[in-house]
């Protein structure tokens, strides 16, 4: 059993339980239902686990009585609070973060700062915009987040808040899953999903995968550091060495870390096992299973429904607003480069190359498993092919950079050229992400074998 328990599982066996999970509106007094605006949640989010208890009262005071909610946030308490904050800020603070970054760039340029420091300044401006954007945000989206909307210090108020979880779900227009690796092993999380889908259906459901954002941040950081170092070098041999080091590191990261994580996520979202659903209290487990049986006729029926829904999660990730923001942030280093030195083609090749590497990883792994080549020799061959893809990726970036250098020496770039290239780049990234999504949708029968293949 995990040491970190969901507050919904800490209320004791005397808790009244969840009610009204399958009715569109209940007769509950709306004064008992609370929500918090996105901008307020971003300001008071507990970034560290050890600050949770000290900030509980302050968190609850920032929420207010509501009649309806825009979004119900479902999450596992064992997932990293910092990553969950990053995901929420990523969703609601991206416009402010981009504005902060460009204002920083304008200030540094007017001050006569060089390219390297401008790259660093734009990155710092972006990060600060995400960290403190809530204080300048005008987003009044009403959210349900249990730490803020259910009292954590007063046991009586906590029980009352937990008793109304079903009412929160029926009054929420949307449902957002902070997807972590243990999400579909938490019985309370699955129950929240079951209640919402009973009355709303899957159209208003979004999935924000935490692991993918972590990997995306690392890749963008690599990309930004590459351009910072590149802007300080003025010798072709050093630049070539930098290209080799950068492309090797990012290629191996995409192929051996991010690629594996994506395959594991696809496996996890498509398997719902009753024996693996964890709940700290037996009384809660019995109550939740009774409600699921009442709503769906049995757990097997709900599992079948949920697995069909999970099967579409990868497809849904490629079309929601969260993903579009993901693409914009992925292109952020390219935007910086285009503004500073016009090397938009090189930056676009780097950005698109990452997704191409993931497509190659998935294709090679799937082909080997599909054909039954799962021996140790087959794994060695596939890993050699991964490395070959990384070498080709590096060679492509070096070639494009030299071609673009010749072009920039012969002519000067214009703002129209930059804008057109950026539009083309973002369009290409969207198409490649869509292609990657189509390769993983619907899930195929070989996903478990693929996970075993890459883990050995």
pLDDT of residue 72: 92
Arithmetic mean of pLDDT, 71-88: 86
Contact 167, 33 (CB under 8 A): yes
Residue of higher predicted confidence among 77 and 14: 77
Query: How does pLDDT run across 82-93, given as a tens digit for each residue?
Result: 888 888 888 888
pLDDT bin (cut points 50, 70, 90) of residue 94 is confident
- Please state, in angstroms and rounded to a whole number, the distance separating the CA atoms of residues 369 and 452: 10
pLDDT of residue 28: 52
Contact 78, 125 (CB under 8 A): no
For the entire predicted model, the pTM comes to: 0.77
Arithmetic mean of pLDDT, 356-371: 83
pLDDT of residue 445: 63
Most confident of 132-146, 323-337, 356-370: 356-370
Secondary-structure breakdown of the chain: helix, strand, coil percentages, each rounded to the nearest 5: 70, 5, 20
Residue 11 pLDDT > 70, yes or no? no
Residue 290 pLDDT > 60, yes or no? yes
Place of tokens 């092993």: 185
């Amino acid at each position: 059993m995990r040491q970190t328990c969901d507050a919904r599982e800490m209320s004791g066996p005397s808790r009244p339980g969840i009610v009204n999970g399958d009715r569109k509106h209940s007769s509950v007094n709306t004064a008992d239902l609370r929500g918090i605006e996105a901008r307020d949640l971003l300001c008071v989010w507990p970034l560290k686990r050890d600050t949770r208890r000290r900030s509980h009262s302050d968190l609850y005071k920032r929420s207010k009585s509501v009649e309806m909610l825009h979004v119900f946030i479902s999450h596992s308490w064992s997932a990293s609070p910092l990553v969950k904050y990053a995901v929420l800020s990523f969703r609601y603070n991206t416009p402010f973060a981009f504005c902060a970054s460009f204002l920083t760039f304008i200030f540094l340029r007017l001050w006569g700062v060089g390219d390297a420091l401008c790259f660093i300044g734009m990155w710092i401006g972006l990060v600060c915009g995400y960290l403190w954007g809530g204080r300048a945000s005008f987003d009044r989206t009403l959210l349900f987040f249990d730490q803020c909307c259910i009292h954590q210090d007063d046991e009586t108020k906590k029980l009352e808040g937990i008793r109304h979880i079903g009412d929160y779900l029926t009054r929420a227009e949307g449902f957002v899953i902070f997807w972590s690796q243990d999400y579909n092993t938490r019985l309370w999380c699955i129950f929240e999903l079951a209640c919402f889908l009973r009355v709303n259906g899957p159209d208003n459901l979004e999935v924000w995968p935490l692991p993918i954002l972590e990997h995306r941040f690392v890749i963008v950081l690599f990309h930004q550091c590459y351009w910072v170092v590149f802007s300080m070098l003025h010798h072709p041999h050093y630049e070539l060495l930098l290209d080799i080091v950068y492309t090797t590191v990012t290629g191996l990261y995409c192929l051996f870390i991010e690629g594996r994580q994506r395959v594991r996520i696809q496996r996890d979202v498509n398997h719902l096992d009753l024996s693996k659903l964890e709940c700290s209290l037996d009384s809660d487990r019995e109550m939740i299973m009774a409600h699921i049986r009442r709503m769906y006729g049995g757990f097997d029926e709900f599992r079948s429904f949920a697995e069909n829904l999970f099967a579409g999660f990868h497809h849904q990730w490629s079309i929601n607003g969260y993903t579009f923001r993901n693409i914009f942030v992925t292109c952020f280093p390219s935007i910086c480069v285009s503004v500073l030195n016009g090397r938009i083609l090189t930056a676009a090749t780097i950005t698109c190359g990452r997704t191409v590497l993931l497509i190659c990883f998935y294709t090679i792994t799937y082909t080997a498993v599909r054909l039954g080549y799962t021996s140790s020799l087959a794994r060695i061959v596939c890993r050699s092919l991964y490395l070959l893809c990384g070498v080709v990726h590096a060679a492509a970036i070096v070639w494009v950079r030299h071609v673009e250098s010749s072009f920039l020496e012969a002519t000067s770039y214009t703002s129209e050229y930059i804008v057109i290239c950026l539009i083309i780049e973002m369009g290409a990234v969207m198409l490649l992400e869509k292609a990657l999504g189509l390769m993983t949708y619907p899930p195929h029968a070989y996903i478990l074998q693929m996970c075993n293949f890459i883990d050995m």
